[in-house]
Structure 1
Amino acid sequence: MKKNRNLLIGLAALLLAGIGAYFYFTQKKTTFAAGEKDFAVSDTSGVDKIFLADKTGLQSTLTRETNGRWMLNGKYMARKDMIENLFDVVQHITVRAPVAATAVDNILKRMATNNIKVEIYKKGKIDKIYYVGASTADSYGSFVLMEGAERPYICYLPGHHGYITSFYNPNPLEWRDRLIFALSPRDIRSVKVEYTYDPSANYTVEQTEKNKFRLLDYAGNEIKGFDTIQVKSYMLEFKNIAYEGFVDIPEIQMDSVRKKYNLFTLTLTENNGKSTWVKGHRIKLLANSVNEFGKEVEWDSDRMYGEISTYGKEYVFIQYMTFDRILKTPGFFMQQPR
């Protein structure tokens, strides 16, 4: 009887220990799982730095200035639209499902060689570190792994039909603000335009004092009778002049383009003495290129190669549609008969 009682006590102890172990390990696992999928930053007001890097060596460090403006790598202004999109996904990234246990090893191997590291800082201190991998097979999510975790998750952005990897772009060239000029008329001292193929159309607009202007021709002679309203309208265009994107072109090829196909040089001088010039060069198309009407064309009618004085040997695409607003002739400024 005593032996049976001891056996029952032993069994009860084992049962209680088993129950205790079950709750201990399941509680620990649940807590860990919650932490490893907590990617979203619900309150982004304190986020002041985001670091992005991929396995190819591309890196971008985005920092918030005291005036609220975001800078790239401590040197360039960051694109406002990309900052807004990044913050949208940082705040609202959502887990769709954990990666199936049978697929974890395969996904982790893929992510080991192809991922974007994301570091998010709040008030100067690290808040989250996770890794964003490639898209899922259906392209409606991306694989994301919290640092220190063993299991990746499939994440998406509610309302966005597609994967989220592209929001975490580590390429600094993509993050750079594409504005060339963002000036109010009151900040502009002069604008000088020089044409390679028609020097007689060259002109200079000078602002001698607020809202008072001089118009000079190609030889520097003052032109009388111009329309002040036209000049004011022209100066307003410099509030938003941007390039399309960077172009990867060898320096030796660009040197040839510069010599053969230059169209114009525009030099803007600010009241503080800072001068910025932009040069536009025609883009020669491949032989037998045709336009949308099937007509053979020699030159790109939408874009030019652009050089900007502050960009050194980094070259960009600029659009005719944008630069037609600021590339005029002296006749544009003249008073029209009423």
Structure 2
Amino acid sequence: MNRTTWLLLSFFILGVIAVGYVYFNREDALMRGLKAERNFAVKDVSRLQKIFIAQRDGETTLLEKKGPEWLYNGKYKARPNAMDNLLDAIQRVEIDHIPAKAAIKNIVNNLAGEGIKVELYESGEQPVKTYYIGSGTQDERGVYMIMDGFDQPFVCHIPGWEGNLRYRYNLRGDDWRDKTVFAEDPDNIQSVSIEYPKQKNRSFKLERKGGSSFDIRPFYKITPKLPLPYREGSAEAFLIGFESLVAEAFENETPAKDSVRQIVPFSVITVTNKQGKTTQAKLFPIFPESVMSLDPKTGQWVSSDGATVERYFVDHSSGDFMLIQDRVFRKVLRGYDFFYGR
């Protein structure tokens, strides 16, 4: 074999290698791209540090992880249940199927007009994933989604869960916020006072003196002390009620807020922990002009006309105006005599 033949053969071999290299790298890039456009889930959500959600009407939500908690818009503690649902969706979302080609144009238009943009961040300045969530399918079991930078939309769902996962991302304003009124470890409570301005004899102050020792006395000096023995364990049972007391809703936008705040409250609850942090809630029955009394048969507070109180407005020391349910807070709406007797 002469020199010319060797050179031609060498060029041919090199050409095959080059073509193969380009081809296989192209195929590899295509596979990576195919995987990227389908890979919506973040399997390890513990690595997420920030979630940014933008609505088409301009409203935005920023959720940032600070230690074990999430903050909403840099100011408020995020509602744990809302975050659990969101993170569950982020972790478990999967493609259910590829929509028919004939429907893709309408789906893309829907995503452009109604899509919620979601950016997921770990430690860096750039999001690890960005995708858009459109409307739900007709049977509400899936939702249209598309990865940022790609053209192919998909119908996605959470395996084993029936529902439209868009709702987990589509909360607005106060719906993201933690609705806790009181949340204190009973062993970390230093004192509690409950004032009933219209029932002074039921008002009291409870103060921890050390360990399981408590001083419980009337809130008002004019109220005589009860000549009865202390009921063992009553203080501990009462304090357990403050572990988790959550409002039904925020009512910061209600027109009645300012006028309600001018009324004498039915009750003022003040809790101070061992670190000196004080939390206060003023309770106003939904019918605030009624005279309240305790029904000894049911243990419920009732109005003078016999109607049962089901809800209260709450003026919270955080500045929020909230709505609470009597059935949730009844366990701490105790009177001075609760702690005494046989």
Task: Report the TM-score, using the length of structure 2 for normalisation.
Answer: 0.78
Task: Tell me how far 1:299 sits from its aligned partner.
Answer: 6.4
Offset of residue 28 of structure 1: 6.8
| Residue 128 (structure 1) shift | 0.2
Match of 1:319 in 2: 325
Shift in CA distance, 211/298, structure 1 to aligned 2, threshold 3 Å:
closer
* 1:292-317 deviation digits (Å, cap 9, x = unpaired): xxxxx99674322122111x2x3211
Is the aligned partner of 1:330 residue 2:336? Answer: yes
Q: Within 2, Cα distance between the matches of 1:240 and 1:143?
A: 38
- In structure 1, the partner of 2:291 is none
How do 1:133-172 residues align onto structure 2 when only pairs under 5 Å count?
133-172=134-173
2:210 and 2:70 mapped to 1: Cα distance?
33
Alpha-carbon offset, residue 200 of structure 1: 2.3
The CA distance in 2 between the partners of 1:57 and 1:199, in whole Å, is 51
CA contact (8 A) 2:205 2:216 kept: yes
**Alignment correspondent of 2:182:** 181
AA at the equivalent of 1:235? L
Q: State the match for 2:124 in structure 1.
A: 124
Point out the more displaced range, 85-94 or 196-205: 196-205
- CA distance in 1 between counterparts of 2:60 and 2:306 reads 38
1:34 alignment partner in structure 2: 35
Equivalent position SS for 2:266: strand
| Aligned residues of 1:54 and 1:170 also touching (Cα < 8 A) | no
Task: Provide closer, same or farther for how the CA distance between residues 248 and 184 of structure 1 changes in structure 2, counting only shifts above 3 A.
Answer: closer
- TM-score by length of structure 1 reads 0.79
Identity, % of aligned positions? 30
2:250 matched residue in structure 1: 246
Counterpart pick for 1:233 among 224, 230, 237: 237
Matched, 1:280 2:283: yes
Q: Is 1:303 aligned to 2:314, yes or no?
A: no
Over 3 Å counting, the alpha-carbon distance change for 1:157 and 1:193 in structure 2 is same
Inter-partner Cα distance in structure 1 for 2:166 and 2:262: 41
Whole-Å Cα distance in 2 between the matches of residues 190 and 27 of structure 1?
A: 66
Deviation at 1:237, TM superposition (A): 1.3
Cα distance, 1:172 vs. partner?
4.0
34-43 or 316-325: bigger deviation: 34-43
Please tell me whether the aligned partners of residues 261 and 315 of structure 2 are also in contact (alpha carbons under 8 angstroms): no
- Partner amino acid for 1:214? D
The alignment's C-alpha RMSD in Å is 2.9
CA distance in 1, matches of 2:274, 2:241: 17
Shift in alpha-carbon separation, 1:299–1:150, aligned structure 2, 3 A: farther
Unaligned 5+ residue runs, structure 1?
1-19, 286-296
Instruction: Give the 3 Å change call, closer, same or farther, for CA 147–300 of structure 1 in structure 2.
Output: farther
Tell me the secondary structure at the aligned position of residue 283 of structure 2: strand
Partner of residue 86, structure 2: 86
Q: How many residues align?
A: 302
Amino acid at match of 2:59: L
Quote the offset at 1:227 in angstroms. Answer: 1.9
Gaps of 5+ in 2: 1-19, 289-304
Structure 2 Cα separation of the partners of residues 218 and 42 of structure 1 = 54
> Partner of 1:96: helix, strand, or coil?
strand
